[in-house]
Structure 1
Amino acid sequence: MLRIVLIRPGSTDFDEQGRIKGTLDIPLSENGTYQVARIVEELRETPIDYIYTSPCQAAEQTAAAVALPRRMRVRSLDELQNLDHGLWHGKLVDEVRQSQPKVYRQLQEHPETVCPPQGEAVGDALVRVRNAMTRLVRKHRRGVVGLVVPEPCASLVRSVLKHCDLGDLWKAECEAGGWQLIEVHPEGLAATT
């Protein structure tokens, strides 16, 4: 059986300020560095065979820290790039809630139907993530794979792997510095084009 250790990178300044980071390439904050050290310690006894990361600084820094004591190579997966929030990049989550309350609510209730202005539709990102996870599961049928993915993309990965709802992507947007172990049943994953 394949198990995935889904790791959220340590926090960035934007996470701590409640700002939407999306595809912005932001390094770990001081607090994020401490979170990563905690994650590394918590995962010290967990065997990990491969580590993949989203292509962004905070995820790459987190993945490198997890890989270092294992002397492992980190592989970057472009398909795990965070959602492109378009014109929402850098805005406070509260700004969007106040200026676009209908869209804010829609992203909570039916996230797959939302497309940020000049950004990527959540439904399209979900298809991208589902296809990436399907390929990853085909490649690694058993063992333990570490995936370092920032929110809200991590929520999409979790939804695909656990066959569950996306949850509140606004709440997830600023969550960082955690991990969870997911058992994957490969027969349940199917790529969508």
Structure 2
Amino acid sequence: MTRLIVWRHGNTDWNAGSRVQGQTDVPLNDLGRRQAVDAAELLVRMRPDAIVSSDLSRAFDTAAALAALTGLTISTDERLRERFFGDWQGLTMAEVAAERPAEHARWTAGEDVIGGEVETLDDLGKRVSEALLEAARLAPPGGTVVVATHGAAARQGVGHLLGWQREHLRTLRALQNCHWVELTHDEARGWQMAAYNVGVLADRPVPPPV
């Protein structure tokens, strides 16, 4: 049985400020780097055979924490990038709601086509699921591949891979930073979700300045 771990990157300052990142290359912050290390200490126990990452630094640097423990080389795939949010990128969600209310309303309703050059959910799901399938082929029989990606990309890519309808995907809560989805595959059952939003239960407290 092949196992695929779809892992969201650690926290960034834009996450903390509710600012739309999309495909803007925003780095991990100190909290995000700690989250990556803590999560890697759990994921290494799964004995991954390969690590694949989005080429955006917040995902790649998250994957690097696991690579440091396993000695594996990280392969990058730009299809694993976050949803392209077009004119929204760099805005806070409050600014989107105030300045682009019609688009924000369509996004809130879970519609596929938003406007403002925002990538459709269908296009997002197709490209990410294709990358996930290709990543899974890196595992030997019964092996494990860890894929570092982004929140919306992970949820939509997994949903497309499983054949879920958009309204079903809306029932899933957003992945927390540095949490993951576990998928398994065998010839009899195909792809199945084994676990969702798994990760370290609580962030370590930030040490006081010295």
Report the TM-score, using the length of structure 2 for normalisation: 0.77
Question: Residues 56-101 of structure 1: CA distance to partner in whole angstroms, max 9, x if unpaired?
Answer: 0110101111111110000001111211111100111222234434
Unaligned runs of 5+ in 2: 192-210
The corresponding residue for 2:78 is: 78
RMSD over equivalenced CA pairs, Å? 2.5
Query: Aligned runs of 1:14-29 on 2, under 5 Å?
Result: 14-29=14-29
**Residue of structure 1 in register with 2:134 after alignment:** 135
Distance change in 2, residues 1:137/1:33 (3 Å)? closer
The residue number in structure 1 matching 2:53 is: 53
Corresponding residue of 1:66: 66
Measure, in 2, the Cα distance between the counterparts of 1:108 and 1:2.
35
1:121 aligns with 2:123: no
Q: How far, CA to CA, are the matches of 2:143 and 2:102 in structure 1?
A: 43
Query: What displacement does 1:111 show?
Result: 3.8
Q: What residue is the counterpart of 1:183 in the other structure?
A: 184
Q: Which has the higher contact order (CA 8 A, sep 6+)?
A: 1
Structure with more of its chain in helix, by fraction: 1
Structure 1 residues 124 and 67, CA gap change in structure 2 (3 angstroms): same
Bigger strand share: 2
The structural deviation recorded for 1:167 is 2.4
Q: Deviations over 1:142-186 (max 9, x none)?
A: 4111000012111122212343343279x739x412123221357
Q: Is the 8 A contact 1:84 1:119 kept in 2?
A: yes
Structure 1, unaligned runs of 5 or more = none
Shift of 1:27: 0.9
Tell me the number of residue pairs that the alignment of Structure 1 and Structure 2 aligns.
186
Q: 1:95 to 1:185 in 2, by over 3 A?
A: farther
SS of residue in 1 equivalent to 2:112: helix
- In the other structure, the counterpart of 2:196 is none
Q: Secondary structure at the match of 1:183?
A: strand
How far does residue 127 in structure 1 lie from its aligned partner after superposition? 1.9
Question: Sequence identity of aligned pairs in percent?
Answer: 25
Structure exhibiting the larger radius of gyration computed from Cα positions = 2
